[in-house]
């Protein structure tokens, strides 16, 4: 099994923040919003993976629920 910390993973995650271009550049802004949406989708997959690990600790489940709600809010804002 390949480690999550392989060179490829680190390379793709090196710059995890999406930087929005100036409002005048609509095409670049759309591209940045699509990239942000993909990052949120990946974050959702990670949350699902953690939830499926069988950790039934109350604090962990509470944190997963909170993060999931935060992701939903961010997705709604991006899709406006």
Q: CB burial class (10 A; 0-12, 13-18, 19+) of residue 71?
A: middle
pLDDT along the chain (80 residues), means of 10: 42 54 73 86 91 84 92 89
Give the pLDDT score at 25: 75
Give the pLDDT score at 78: 86
Give the pLDDT score at 44: 92
* Token digits of residue 73: 């809010």
Give the pLDDT score at 16: 56
What does DSSP assign to residue 15? Answer: S
8 A C-beta contact, residue 36 and residue 78: yes
Task: Give CA–CA dist 31/74, Å, rounded.
Answer: 17
């Amino acid at each position: 099994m390949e480690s999550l910390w392989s060179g490829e993973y680190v390379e793709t995650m090196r710059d995890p923040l999406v930087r929005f271009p100036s409002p005048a550049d609509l095409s670049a802004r759309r591209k940045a919003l699509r990239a942000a949406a993909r990052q949120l989708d990946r974050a959702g997959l990670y949350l699902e993976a953690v939830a499926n690990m069988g950790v039934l600790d109350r604090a962990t489940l509470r944190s997963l629920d909170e993060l999931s709600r935060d992701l939903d809010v961010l997705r709604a804002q991006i899709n406006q």
